[in-house]
């Protein structure tokens, strides 16, 4: 497979996953603020932290405007934010366009339709109180796209690279979510903290589409540690970091099985597989208390592992 094609598929996977994650983040938290007992600002700033765009946001807007107007615009519509929904869908579509000969036309049409219907006329969304509808539409468009891929893309390298991007992005996203949301909050010590914490943890779970799955497993009060453990280490929940890492490692092995000759494995590929296995092993054996307390490995270490795998993928496959 052409290196450029593999790289584009990988990035399509990342962008579409990112657009979907951002849409869920925004949807859940926007509506959570509506009943969050007046401490609204506290809800908005972390969203920007989770999306990893605090620095560029401050550069553009200063610290002002982190409210129910500014943040949704930044996260959903601002083309100056490379991670906004609109930017992600545009870039995914641009990448898809560069390889529309390679992907089934249903996939191309799904992303092209998403682009045409969700990336223009965006001002109207907030003006008409339609952010929820918009976020739902984004999620559905992304799901439709991956669904098409699931149904129509041969299980070859192209598929593996698309999944690679998707899983890497997902692991990255959930780690950031945990990093920001498990930080002890000042309100926790105050009166009524328990209700607020419950509210916050629900939002965290819902942001990762994990609320119902978590509820079914633990039929008791929401506890921060258990929520973190579920999102981080559940071996069978498809959005957990551990599950994503295992699936990532599998995609990498599938790719190497095709690209590496029978005689020898290229050093860059060998080191990449080792990195991925190391992450999986860490997640299999770690105690969640250590992670949350930011001992070794902390969330920061795991995030660095994920980033390193991303870099190694580039070195092994895209710079031939």
Site residues, other proteins (CB under 8 A): 1-6, 79, 90, 94, 97-102, 105, 108-109, 112-113, 116, 120, 157, 255, 258-261, 317, 320
Task: Give min distance, CB of 143 to other proteins, in A.
Answer: 18
Task: Give min distance, CB of 116 to other proteins, in A.
Answer: 7
Task: Give min distance, CB of 4 to other proteins, in A.
Answer: 6
Distance CA 79, CA 102 (A): 27
Nearer to other proteins by Cβ, of 58 and 105: the residue is: 105
Nearer to other proteins by Cβ, of 1 and 40: the residue is: 1
Residue 97 CB neighbour total at 10 angstroms: 13
Nearer to other proteins by Cβ, of 33 and 95: the residue is: 95
Task: Give min distance, CB of 148 to other proteins, in A.
Answer: 13
Query: In angstroms, how far is the first alpha carbon of the chain from the final one?
Result: 11
Task: Give min distance, CB of 316 to other proteins, in A.
Answer: 9
Distance CA 250, CA 240 (A): 15
Nearer to other proteins by Cβ, of 113 and 199: the residue is: 113
Own/partner contacts of 148-152, CB < 8 Å, gap of 24 or more, are 148/104, 148/106, 148/107, 148/110, 149/103, 149/107, 151/106, 152/104, 152/106, 152/107
Nearer to other proteins by Cβ, of 120 and 218: the residue is: 120
Nearer to other proteins by Cβ, of 46 and 158: the residue is: 158
Task: Give min distance, CB of 248 to other proteins, in A.
Answer: 17
Q: How far is residue 39 from each of residues 43, 146, 177, measured CA to CA in Å?
A: 7, 37, 19
Distance CA 90, CA 49 (A): 22
Distance CA 247, CA 249 (A): 5
Dihedrals φ, ψ of 101, to 5°? -75, -20
Q: Give the CA-trace dihedral at 118, 119, 123, 124, to 10 degrees.
A: -30
For residue 100, give both structure tokens: 């529309």
Task: Give min distance, CB of 259 to other proteins, in A.
Answer: 4
- Alpha carbon 46 to its chain's center: 15
Task: Give min distance, CB of 15 to other proteins, in A.
Answer: 14
Nearer to other proteins by Cβ, of 105 and 198: the residue is: 105
Nearer to other proteins by Cβ, of 112 and 185: the residue is: 112
Q: How far is residue 259 from each of residues 158, 202, 256, 264, measured CA to CA in Å?
A: 12, 43, 5, 11
């Amino acid at each position: 497979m052409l290196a450029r094609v593999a790289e584009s598929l990988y990035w399509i996977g990342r962008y579409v996953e990112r657009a979907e994650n951002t849409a869920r983040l925004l949807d859940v938290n926007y509506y959570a603020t509506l009943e969050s007992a007046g401490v609204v600002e506290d809800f908005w700033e972390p969203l920007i932290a989770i999306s990893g765009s605090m620095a560029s946001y401050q550069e553009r807007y200063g610290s002002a405007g982190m409210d129910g107007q500014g943040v949704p615009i930044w996260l959903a519509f601002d083309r100056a934010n490379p991670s906004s929904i609109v930017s992600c869908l545009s870039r995914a579509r641009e990448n898809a366009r560069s390889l529309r000969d390679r992907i089934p036309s249903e996939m191309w049409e799904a992303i092209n339709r998403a682009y045409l219907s969700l990336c223009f006329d965006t001002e109207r969304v907030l003006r008409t109180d339609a952010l929820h509808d918009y976020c739902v539409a984004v999620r559905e468009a992304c799901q439709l796209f991956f669904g098409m891929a699931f149904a129509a893309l041969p299980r070859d390298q192209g598929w593996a690279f698309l999944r690679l991007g998707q899983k890497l992005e997902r692991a990255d996203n959930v780690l950031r979510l945990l990093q920001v949301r498990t930080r002890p909050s000042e309100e926790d010590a105050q009166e009524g903290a328990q209700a607020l914490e419950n509210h916050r943890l629900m939002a965290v779970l819902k942001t990762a589409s994990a609320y119902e799955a978590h509820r079914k497993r633990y039929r008791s009060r929401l506890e921060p540690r258990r929520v973190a453990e579920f999102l981080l280490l559940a071996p069978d929940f498809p959005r957990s970091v551990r599950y994503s890492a295992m699936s990532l490692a599998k995609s990498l092995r599938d790719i190497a099985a095709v690209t590496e000759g029978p005689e020898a494995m290229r050093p860059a590929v060998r080191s990449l597989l080792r990195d991925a296995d190391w992450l999986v092993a860490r997640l299999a054996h770690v105690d969640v208390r250590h992670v949350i307390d930011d001992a070794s490995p902390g969330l920061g270490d795991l995030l660095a592992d994920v980033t390193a795998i991303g870099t190694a993928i580039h070195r092994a496959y895209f710079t031939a």
